[in-house]
Amino acid sequence: MTKITKVKTGSKFEEIASYSRVVAVDNWIMVSNTAGRNPDSNEIPEDVIEQTDQVFKNIERALEAVGSCLADVVRSNVFIQNPDDIHRVMEHIGTKFRGINPATTATCPPLGSTAYKVELEVTAYRGASEAESEDIVIPQ
């Protein structure tokens, strides 16, 4: 039988919009779009790279709640408020995902608040970090 686990963080936004931070369906794990707000202090760093670091801390915390980790991520969607920040942010994200190499999309839409400079949503597969992996390079 399929097991579905839904995780909430206590965010008022989760209650208002009636969503979960994480939904795990068996080994598939979907993490909602995550901003760089520190859940303990409720503060949002001004710097886009500091926000990106906080986004990753928040996502890692969410993944850990369902027995997963960043290395299990197979897909990411990156939302960057200011197109001028895209290269800096993506280079920094590259340091976080080095060796994991998920399928990734980056876009520059308006976000829910101008305080948010970057948000990230991920899909993980529990155990992907331990699975045999093959890298294929397609010639250009």
CATH number at residue 51: 3.30.1330.40
Whole-angstrom distance, CA of residue 92 vs CA of residue 95: 5
User: Is the residue at 8 inside a domain?
Assistant: no
Please give the backbone phi and psi of residue 34, each rounded to the nearest 5 degrees, phi first.
Answer: -120, 130
Contact (CB, 8 A) for 118 and 48: yes
Residue with tokens 């995780």: 7
Domain count of the chain? 1
Range of the domain at 105: 34-127
- For each of the chain's 140 residues, which pLDDT tens digit applies? 899 999 998 888 889 999 999 999 999 999 999 999 999 999 999 999 999 999 999 999 999 999 999 999 999 999 999 999 999 999 999 999 999 999 999 999 999 899 999 999 999 999 999 999 999 999 98
User: Is the residue at 72 inside a domain?
Assistant: yes
User: Is the residue at 3 inside a domain?
Assistant: no
Please give the backbone phi and psi of residue 133, each rounded to the nearest 5 degrees, phi first.
Answer: -130, 140
User: Is the residue at 47 inside a domain?
Assistant: yes
Amino acid at the residue 73: V
Whole-angstrom distance, CA of residue 42 vs CA of residue 8: 16
User: Is the residue at 4 inside a domain?
Assistant: no
The reported pLDDT for the residue numbered 119 is 98
User: Is the residue at 67 inside a domain?
Assistant: yes
User: Is the residue at 19 inside a domain?
Assistant: no
The residues facing 30 across adjacent strands are 23, 123
- What token pair was written down for 77? 């969607």
User: Is the residue at 138 inside a domain?
Assistant: no
